[in-house]
Structure 1
Amino acid sequence: MGMNGGPPMLLLALGAVVVIALFSMTIAFGVLWGQEKSKNADLAASMPPSQPTSPSNPTTSPPSTTLTECTTEACVTAAYSLYRSMNKNINPCDNFYEYACGNFSRNEPIPSDKTRWGVFDVLRRQLLRDLVASLQVPDVNALPSGAQANSTQKMQRYFHSCMDSDKIAEDSQNLTSLQNHFNEYSFHLEEWPASRPPVSADKDTLRTMIITARKYGNTLGVFPNGYSANISEPSQNIIEFDAGRFTLDRSTLLNDSKTREHQAYVTYMTDIAVLIKKRISPPEDLVDPIPVEAFREFFQDVLRFERRLANLTLAPEDRRNISALQHPHTFKNFTEYFQVKGNPLNIQAETWVEYFKTAWGDAAKDVTVDTVINVAEPNYYAGLTTALEEGTSAPLKYVFFYNYAGWKIIEPFVSRLDDEFRAIQLKFRRALYGTSTETPRAEICVDTLNDQFPNAIGHMYVSEFYDRKKNMELQEMIDYLMNAFREIIRTSDWMQQSTKDEALTKVDKITRRLGFDEYLMDDLRKLNEEHRNFIASNTFLENYASGRRFEVQLEGREFASRNNKTDWISGPAIVNAFYSPSRNSITFPAGILQAPFMGSDYPKYWNFAAIGTVIGHEITHGFDDRGSTRDGDGYYRNWWDPESRANYNQRAQGIINQYSNYSYMGVQLKGANNQGENIADNGGLRESYRGYKEYQRQQLGGAEEARLPGFADKTTDQMFFLSYAQVWCGDYRLAELELQVNRAHSPGRFRVIGPLHNSPEFAAAYNCPVGSYMNPPNKYGVW
């Protein structure tokens, strides 16, 4: 797919390829710059022709003078993408990330509403624009309504209700729609937050609130649950309870120095509560002033409660061991965790059965008090009731939890209300992350629909923006990378033959899901039937609540079905890729199979370096510290001989130590936490490079590919690594970076530097001396 929405000048210029080839690259990039209507026109207009080799621009050998220069639209676009990100003043052996990406943030600064921005986000932005164009209609009232509408028309009506800010503001004035929805929970806004027992705040009310919230996909943060594949029988699903998830990140909650962020959270909750009171009780109807300080004191209790709960949870690096998160219980013995000091939450085994039957309907018909579930962190649940008893100042704990649950029920709706509510949320985000503007409503709307209806939105996306022919090219690339990984296994000198055989068997059993589920294009009757029970209205909050209900019903159907290796685990309109340990499958949705990851008619080295490393990354996940504990059928089984496993652990420790020594903006990486992704990054690069070299040998007879315009001085290997690096260009706000190191992935710059530090092929391609920053003497890697 080419670039969208360009002026006729670009089409004329690219149509006259021969003419372009005769002009300098300054003109070619000037034309593209005009098409982009972007910033820094002087930079692009002054783009020099190919630079000669110099100490700051090393090359392994001069490219052959007989090589051609590719001047197709795709090649000019690819070259432009590289050029505007690079900082050619940097010696690539000093810091290849800065060389490849040093100007990216100059041309793509972090948007004022975002905490991070990179190449993935640029592609997501294009996906968003594509979907907005598909969802907009000239006259929403001309669409069929009710059951007569198909899935696309339902999405278009829902989208327009989300974009109708005037109607949302009107509906938000007295919060009638919100109150009507919350009545189902037995939760009444006029009684919240309560400083004394309101009529409705008793244990039965709490039970109703907890159960009904789950019906609409809300676990209140305190009881995160869902389903996962049974570790002992991966074709079957099991209900799983995890540790608490809160508004503030665990690391922020537990950091005593983050008092500004803690109090911003308290202020956020207080301001929302005050605004709700004003909306449902106009000043002339208020007998007493709004007790703002009493509200603040209650929300201080919320903060204290969540901090106590966070202290009961495991750190991310302590959750790497899968077996340590396996604790089977029946609902009967799970309930014992809540039998402390009178069970203030009134949770019995039968409560959980009703909880899931209400949420999942017939899909949970076989759930009983004797159903076996998994509790990932039992210590968290053992301490939950104690935290409720001891962590708050409220004398009546069920009243406190009524207020707490009320806040957690309200919170997801804040960004779906009018501008005054959103402004309060923005103030909170500014204090936490430094963002200064609200997320555009169109983005919120598309993301909401895509989260709730991934198949309906996915159908719209692939129908208009995905070329099925890409699947054939992707299949070929995967074959080359699979073979490269097989060869890595065969030639590894640290594994015994029996373990190699097991690993090769697992590789052979990896299944592939590419682009989209075929029925989204070929069986529209099935797609429309899937969405039959969702009736879109012109009122956004009604649609939003119905969409949450739809999500939960789908979750239930998935729980009740077998965990099939051929099932999709995401919709297609997403810029991401996945490996499923229980299915031993790799998934590449249509959203990521676009430029710059995979460009139609891009040079093969580019596609191998970009989407190819993503493919290799997902393959390697099957053999990272967690994936390596499962066999080719998804069973949790030790298929390693002791010596090979000891060698594996030693090699993995090398990766942990390497990444633990990286820091950026004063923030130290945590190699133990990131090890799975870092192992996959390193393996992915190695596989994609080897896969490309074999492709080059077989398909090109070892010949070099045509040069991109403006890069005639670069070898194919140099272009491979440059194309790889540009995938990870981007930057973070400091607050986001501090959170990122506690997540699974390393920051983007170290997804370039780390694997290249371990690549002799990269060092040879750029002629980096041993001991230079980009060619350290010690190399690490598992695969």
Structure 2
Amino acid sequence: MKNLFMASAGLLAIGACSNEPAEDVAETSAPTEVARTAEVETVASDRAELGDWGIVLEDMDMAVDPGDDFFRYVNGNWLDRFEIPAEFSNYGSFTVLFERSEARVKSIIEDAAASNARDGSIEQKIGDYYASYLDTDAINEKGLAPIQGQLDFYDGLETHHDVALAFAEIDYNSNTPISLYVGVDNKNPETYVTYLSQSGLGMPNRDYYLKPEFEDKRDAYMDFLNAMLGFTGVEDTGDRAAAVYALEEKLAEVHWAPSKSRQAELTYNPYTLDEIQAYVPELPWAEIFDKMMIGEQDSYVLRQNDAIQAAAKIFADTPVAVWKDYLKIHALSSNASVLPTEIDEVQFAFYGRELSGTPQQRERWKRGVSAVNNAMGEAVGQVYVERYFPPESKAQMEELVDNLKTAFAARLDELEWMGEETKAEARDKLAKFNTKIGYPEKWTDYSGLEVVRGDAYGNSIRAGRFGYEDMISNLGQPVDREEWFTTPQTVNAFYSRSRNEIVFPAAILQAPFFDPNADPAVNYGGIGAVIGHEIGHGFDDQGRKADGTGLQRDWWTSDDAARFTERSTKLGAQYATYSPVEGLFVNPELTMGENIGDLGGVTMSYDAYKLSLGGEEAPVLDGYSGDQRFFMAWAQVWKRKYREDELKRRLVSDSHSPSEFRTNGVVRNMDVWYDAFDVTEDDELYLPREDRVQIW
């Protein structure tokens, strides 16, 4: 979110780049050390990329009983020998593909830069954007000059009214107590609406300000605020930085917890402009909305309505001088990558090293690739698809998706806990799923984006405005069902509740998720389960609250809803016992949707795999049965290591459970896994049959 009412594309996790909330599978982030090179490319052959048939057997720890720790059984040798590269907070299968995609995009960018393209062409824009970002000598030579106008503007603010309108400056990138995005109206999915959300914190979420386990991070953040304020020329930073921290702490106290912000029915609170003004009178809403070019809308949705109301009271009670310092600090922080190196280094020292435990900043060219992807990702993606995504892969994925839908439809028919009335609605929703694979059918036109060589800061600001104007241009228009919220080169996948769609970008359709030459059991345990996961999001604890058109409504009978809640609560109780860091546990209220998605996804993909065999037995490969290979593939997908600070951050802010529990927490609930690996009550993962959870 760029400022008070500004959203920019960007989200990652089998998730995506989106200005709408999406339910996702993955997280940000590989199998072997050999695979961890930026230059690695898939070599065309008739052999699987990983191992002989899709699993890296050398990564397994055969000393571990699969029934005691299936995650370590499949990945244990890799976990013991692999060292997380210094530039990463975590590393896993997703990261391998991320680095591969990054290297490919670098090649595309360099080709564009070397093309001697005419001014105004997309090749010129890509090449100049990248070159400007890499030119740290020019950035350092300019010092604060590029952003000085913004800092001076903040210095000139005199009243709270001035500050409120400063929040709405489209061309100024800072932090503000309220943010916005334009998305599909959950109660009228044929139209767009503006959503307003709580915002304004410099640390990941409220827990970092309020919980004792993050006290050391609060001390480090105070140092960060002092340093950033010092860059503006302030000498007496101590008291002023403390006042900014106190302001953010007050905002944190009124913020909703992440688990509460997941609740669909709680976060849909529509207000007319007059109603917003009456509910939150401290801000001049009509002027703000007009300044941001979103006035004259019939309604606006306040997601965390009482938190926004409380934040506005804090706004009015906080001296203008504190808001000026707050805005200047966050302006430097938000733009640090295109400002002098000393600012960029302070930014990384806190957000990278301190919060995530990452020892080393990523090389500048890698960050430049990300910058170009954020600014003109679809232009790069068009070339990416031509080079790296063969039509055969899309056709095979379409077949897999159809198989998963067939398997889920069969499971719906057989559900003993759901009544026929609710089943009919569920079947209708499944039939209306929209599937997007690989890339969009139409591409973003970047002709309106100006890129100036040597102006890294200006390019970033103009790209932000371009993205914002593109987003708000949807208002008043019919919903574009072909629009994508991620680029083809993004390693991710996601489900959108308001659009009832599942999306699989090209870059994730590679090993270990998908390999046309791998054993079918491996593909079903990998990308098949990911497909199932995304389908499952349409029927998780929040996805089930919308119908096949994306309309948020209750289509469940009360008895069926109660039975669903009973099962999901039972699953949550299991996850609440999982502790990856001593004294800290998985929050089942935060991770519920992903946990349901994982369990349902693997369950329906297993059925689809068995259907694909046509009644035949799968061959035994290297001593492993088809069922064993299926589950091994799921565990291999989640191969990952974390730094402890990063893991702590995720436990309070990430809707995904840590990877070991995405593996072990799923398989221990599936009877067929017990049979495949001869798991008995003597094994640590064993659950009595009556304690195993099956939802979908």
The alignment's TM-score, normalised by the length of structure 2, stands at 0.89
SS in 2 for 1:271: helix
**1:715 equivalent in structure 2:** 625
Size of the alignment, in residue pairs? Answer: 653
Rate the CA distance shift 1:463–1:245 in 2: closer, same or farther, 3 A.
farther
Q: State the distance in 1 between where 2:58 and 2:130 align.
A: 35
- Name which of 259, 264, 273 aligns with 1:322: 264
- Name which of 220, 239, 248 aligns with 2:203: 248
Shift of 1:592: 0.7
Output the amino acid matched with 1:135: I
Q: CA contact under 8 A between 2:174 and 2:331: conserved in structure 1?
A: no
**1:187 equivalent in structure 2:** 153
**1:167 equivalent in structure 2:** 138
Rate the CA distance shift 1:106–1:559 in 2: closer, same or farther, 3 A.
farther
Residue 727 (str. 1) matches residue 637 (str. 2): yes
**1:136 equivalent in structure 2:** 110
Residue 493 (str. 1) matches residue 416 (str. 2): yes
Q: State the distance in 2 between where 1:765 and 1:374 align.
A: 49
RMSD: 2.5
Q: State the distance in 2 between where 1:770 and 1:33 align.
A: 33
Rate the CA distance shift 1:107–1:276 in 2: closer, same or farther, 3 A.
farther
- The equivalences for 1:616-655 within 5 A come to 616-655=532-571
**1:260 equivalent in structure 2:** 216
Q: CA contact under 8 A between 1:201 and 1:402: conserved in structure 2?
A: no
Shift of 1:131: 0.8
Rate the CA distance shift 1:267–1:649 in 2: closer, same or farther, 3 A.
same
Output the amino acid matched with 1:513: K
**2:591 equivalent in structure 1:** 674
**1:100 equivalent in structure 2:** 74
**1:306 equivalent in structure 2:** 248
Q: CA contact under 8 A between 2:333 and 2:347: conserved in structure 1?
A: no
Q: State the distance in 1 between where 2:299 and 2:427 align.
A: 34
- The equivalences for 1:452-491 within 5 A come to 452-491=375-414
Bigger CA radius of gyration: 1
**2:42 equivalent in structure 1:** none
Q: CA contact under 8 A between 1:329 and 1:374: conserved in structure 2?
A: yes
SS in 1 for 2:56: helix
Q: CA contact under 8 A between 1:211 and 1:354: conserved in structure 2?
A: no
Q: CA contact under 8 A between 2:357 and 2:646: conserved in structure 1?
A: no
Rate the CA distance shift 1:78–1:591 in 2: closer, same or farther, 3 A.
farther
**1:21 equivalent in structure 2:** none
SS in 2 for 1:187: helix
Q: State the distance in 1 between where 2:431 and 2:448 align.
A: 39
Shift of 1:171: 2.5
Q: State the distance in 1 between where 2:610 and 2:695 align.
A: 21
- Name which of 194, 209, 219 aligns with 2:166: 209
Shift of 1:703: 4.2
SS in 1 for 2:554: coil
Output the amino acid matched with 2:209: L
Residues 347-373 of structure 1: per-residue CA shift (max 9 Å, x gap): 31321222321xxxxxx4xx32x6311
- Name which of 130, 141, 145 aligns with 1:176: 145
Q: State the distance in 1 between where 2:671 and 2:626 align.
A: 16
- The equivalences for 1:127-526 within 5 A come to 127-137=101-111, 143-147=116-120, 149=121, 151-172=122-143, 175-180=144-149, 182=150, 187=153, 191=155, 200-203=157-160, 205-212=162-169, 214-215=170-171, 218=173, 220-249=175-204, 250-277=206-233, 291=235, 294-339=236-281, 343=282, 347-357=283-293, 364=294, 367-368=295-296, 371-388=298-315, 397-428=319-350, 429-520=352-443
Q: State the distance in 1 between where 2:123 and 2:200 align.
A: 34
Rate the CA distance shift 1:270–1:773 in 2: closer, same or farther, 3 A.
same
Rate the CA distance shift 1:430–1:404 in 2: closer, same or farther, 3 A.
same
Rate the CA distance shift 1:327–1:75 in 2: closer, same or farther, 3 A.
closer
Shift of 1:387: 2.4
Rate the CA distance shift 1:724–1:36 in 2: closer, same or farther, 3 A.
closer
Output the amino acid matched with 1:494: W
Rate the CA distance shift 1:586–1:200 in 2: closer, same or farther, 3 A.
closer
The alignment's TM-score, normalised by the length of structure 1, stands at 0.79
Q: CA contact under 8 A between 1:215 and 1:552: conserved in structure 2?
A: no
Rate the CA distance shift 1:123–1:256 in 2: closer, same or farther, 3 A.
same
**1:50 equivalent in structure 2:** none
**2:677 equivalent in structure 1:** 766
**2:40 equivalent in structure 1:** none
Q: State the distance in 1 between where 2:559 and 2:628 align.
A: 38
Shift of 1:220: 2.2
**2:600 equivalent in structure 1:** 683
Rate the CA distance shift 1:555–1:434 in 2: closer, same or farther, 3 A.
same
Residues 438-495 of structure 1: per-residue CA shift (max 9 Å, x gap): 1221222122221222211211321221112111101111111111111111101111
Shift of 1:236: 0.8
Shift of 1:673: 1.5
Shift of 1:722: 0.7
Q: State the distance in 2 between where 1:415 and 1:153 align.
A: 22
Q: CA contact under 8 A between 2:594 and 2:657: conserved in structure 1?
A: yes
- The equivalences for 1:15-54 within 5 A come to none
Output the amino acid matched with 1:509: K
Rate the CA distance shift 1:230–1:578 in 2: closer, same or farther, 3 A.
same
Residues 238-294 of structure 1: per-residue CA shift (max 9 Å, x gap): 1111112422122111124533211211211221232343xxxxxxxxxxxx62xx2
**1:58 equivalent in structure 2:** none
Rate the CA distance shift 1:223–1:586 in 2: closer, same or farther, 3 A.
same
Residue 556 (str. 1) matches residue 466 (str. 2): no
Output the amino acid matched with 1:335: Q
For structure 2, list consecutive stretches of 5 or more residues without a partner in the other structure: 1-30, 38-44
Q: State the distance in 1 between where 2:306 and 2:315 align.
A: 15
For structure 1, list consecutive stretches of 5 or more residues without a partner in the other structure: 1-31, 39-70, 192-198, 278-289, 358-363, 521-526
Q: CA contact under 8 A between 1:240 and 1:373: conserved in structure 2?
A: yes
Rate the CA distance shift 1:554–1:767 in 2: closer, same or farther, 3 A.
same
Shift of 1:764: 0.7
Q: CA contact under 8 A between 1:563 and 1:583: conserved in structure 2?
A: no
My pick for the range that moved more, 558-567 or 603-612, is: 558-567
**2:616 equivalent in structure 1:** 702
Rate the CA distance shift 1:322–1:332 in 2: closer, same or farther, 3 A.
same
Q: State the distance in 1 between where 2:73 and 2:427 align.
A: 38
Shift of 1:409: 2.2
Rate the CA distance shift 1:81–1:584 in 2: closer, same or farther, 3 A.
same
Q: State the distance in 2 between where 1:540 and 1:736 align.
A: 30
SS in 1 for 2:514: coil
Output the amino acid matched with 2:277: T
Q: State the distance in 1 between where 2:217 and 2:594 align.
A: 29
Shift of 1:748: 0.7
Shift of 1:167: 2.2
Rate the CA distance shift 1:427–1:595 in 2: closer, same or farther, 3 A.
same
Q: State the distance in 2 between where 1:680 and 1:34 align.
A: 30
Output the amino acid matched with 1:531: S
My pick for the range that moved more, 666-675 or 381-390, is: 381-390
Rate the CA distance shift 1:508–1:309 in 2: closer, same or farther, 3 A.
same
Q: CA contact under 8 A between 2:164 and 2:284: conserved in structure 1?
A: no
Output the amino acid matched with 1:97: F
Q: State the distance in 1 between where 2:48 and 2:380 align.
A: 28
